[in-house]
C-alpha cells in the first residue's frame, strides 16, 4: 500500500496526463481567478503575501518549489514555520506573527489547494487543518478617549484642515467604514438629505450606510470648503489618512487607526440595542459570524445585560412570599 505521504502528495501532472505546471503558474492562475471574479484588491494582495511566505518557507526548509512539495506534512511544517520564523518587516514593532495572522495564511492555503483540486490541477487536495484562534476582545475607544479626541487641536481648529478633520473622524466613528471605503468616497456618494452615504466595499459591492444629522452637518461644512468636483471626498490616499491619524495620535496620546473606529462603532451600536443583522449590513459583511468578532463586551456590559434579563428575577415576582426566619431560642443550661 502506498504511503500516506505518497497518497496525499500533489501529482506532477494534471489529471489526464496534462503537462506539468509550476508552482508560480498555479499561484498566478489562482490570483487571475480572483481578479476575474472582481474580488477586492485587498483579498488578492493577502493571497499574494501568503504565496510569498510559502516561497520563503520552501527555500528556508530546502523543499522543492513545485506542486509536488505541497503535502499534508508540508502544510503542518508550514504552520510551524509561521509560528517560529520572524517577520522581515513589521509595522507593529513585533516580529512575531499573531495567531490570527497565521490562521489567515493557512486558510489561504486551504482555499488555494481546494481550487486547484476543483480545476483539475492536482489529483487530491492535501488535508489542511485550521487551528482555532483564542477569542480576544478587540480594543475600542472609551467615552473619555473620544471626548479627548474631538477636543484635540487637529479637530477643533477653525481653518479648512480642521473642518476636514472633524468631518473625516466623525464619519469614521459614525459609519464604521473601512479606510479603503473612506478614500473611495466622492461628493456624489453623500446622500445627506436622506441621512445616508453610498459606500463601495469589498468586491465593488455598494451599500447605503446611515449617518447622524450632526455628522451630516460636519460633511456639509467640509463640502462648502471643498467645492465641487469628482475627486475623492477628502483628497487623501490611504497613506494620507494613516499619516493624519498618526499626527492626531501625538496630540491625544493613544493609538488610532481606521479599524479601531470600526470596532468602536460596532460595539457602541450593539450596546445601544441595535440588532446584529442591522450591524452586519452597516459593516458590509456577508456572514453574521464575521460581525461578532468586532463586538467587544466588557464585564460591566455583561453584568448590565444580565441584570436586565436575569432568569431568576424574571420569575421572582410570581414566587410565594418568603416567611421571615425566626431566631432560634437558646436553651439555658441550668445544670
Active site residues: 178, 202, 259, 262, 285, 294
DSSP string, 154-218: HHH-SSHHHHHHHHHHHHHHHH---HHHHHH--GGGEEGGGTEEEEE-GGG-EEEEE--HHHHHH
Alpha-carbon distances of 219 from 55, 103, 211, 243, rounded to whole Å: 46, 39, 10, 21
CA distance 119 to 178: 33
Dihedral sign from CA coordinates of 186, 191, 197, 200? negative
Does residue 54 contact residue 63 with C-beta atoms inside 8 Å?
A: no
- 68 DSSP 8-state letter: G
Length of the chain in terms of residues written: 335
CA distance 118 to 114: 6
Dihedral sign from CA coordinates of 277, 281, 282, 287? positive
Q: Are strands 190-191 and 196-200 parallel, antiparallel or unpaired?
A: antiparallel
Q: What would you measure as the largest C-alpha separation in the chain, in angstroms?
A: 108
Three-class DSSP category at 25: helix
Amino acid at each position: 500500500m502506498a504511503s500516506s505521504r505518497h497518497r496525499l502528495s500533489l501529482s506532477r501532472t494534471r489529471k489526464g496526463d496534462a503537462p506539468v505546471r509550476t508552482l508560480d503558474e498555479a499561484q498566478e492562475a489562482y490570483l487571475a481567478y480572483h481578479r476575474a471574479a472582481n474580488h477586492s484588491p485587498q483579498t488578492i494582495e493577502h493571497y499574494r503575501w501568503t504565496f510569498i511566505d510559502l516561497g520563503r518557507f520552501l527555500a528556508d526548509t530546502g523543499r522543492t518549489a513545485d506542486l509536488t512539495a505541497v503535502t499534508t506534512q508540508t502544510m503542518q511544517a508550514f504552520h510551524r514555520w509561521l509560528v517560529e520564523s520572524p517577520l522581515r518587516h513589521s509595522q507593529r514593532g513585533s516580529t512575531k506573527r499573531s495567531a490570527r495572522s497565521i490562521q489567515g495564511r493557512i486558510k489561504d492555503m486551504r482555499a488555494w489547494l481546494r481550487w486547484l483540486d476543483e480545476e483539475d490541477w492536482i489529483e487530491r487536495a492535501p488535508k489542511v487543518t485550521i487551528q482555532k484562534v483564542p477569542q480576544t476582545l478587540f480594543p475600542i475607544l472609551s467615552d473619555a478617549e473620544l471626548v479627548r479626541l474631538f477636543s484635540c487641536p487637529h479637530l477643533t481648529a477653525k481653518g479648512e484642515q480642521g473642518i476636514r478633520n472633524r468631518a473625516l473622524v466623525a464619519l469614521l466613528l459614525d459609519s464604521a467604514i473601512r479606510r479603503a471605503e473612506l478614500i473611495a468616497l466622492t461628493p456624489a456618494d453623500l446622500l445627506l438629505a436622506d441621512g445616508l452615504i453610498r459606500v463601495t466595499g469589498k468586491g465593488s459591492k455598494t451599500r447605503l450606510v446611515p449617518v447622524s444629522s450632526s455628522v451630516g452637518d460636519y460633511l456639509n461644512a467640509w463640502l462648502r470648503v471643498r467645492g465641487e468636483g469628482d475627486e475623492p471626498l477628502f483628497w487623501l490616499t490611504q497613506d494620507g489618512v494613516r499619516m493624519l491619524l498618526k499626527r492626531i495620535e501625538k496630540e491625544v496620546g493613544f493609538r488610532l487607526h481606521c479599524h479601531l473606529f470600526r470596532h468602536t462603532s460596532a460595539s457602541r451600536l450593539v450596546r445601544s440595542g441595535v440588532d446584529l443583522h442591522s450591524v452586519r449590513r452597516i459593516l458590509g459583511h456577508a456572514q453574521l459570524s464575521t460581525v461578532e468578532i468586532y463586538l467587544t463586551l466588557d464585564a460591566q456590559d455583561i453584568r448590565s445585560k444580565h441584570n436586565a434579563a436575569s432568569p431568576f428575577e424574571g420569575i421572582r415576582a410570581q414566587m410565594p412570599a418568603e416567611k421571615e426566619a425566626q431566631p432560634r431560642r437558646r436553651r439555658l443550661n441550668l445544670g
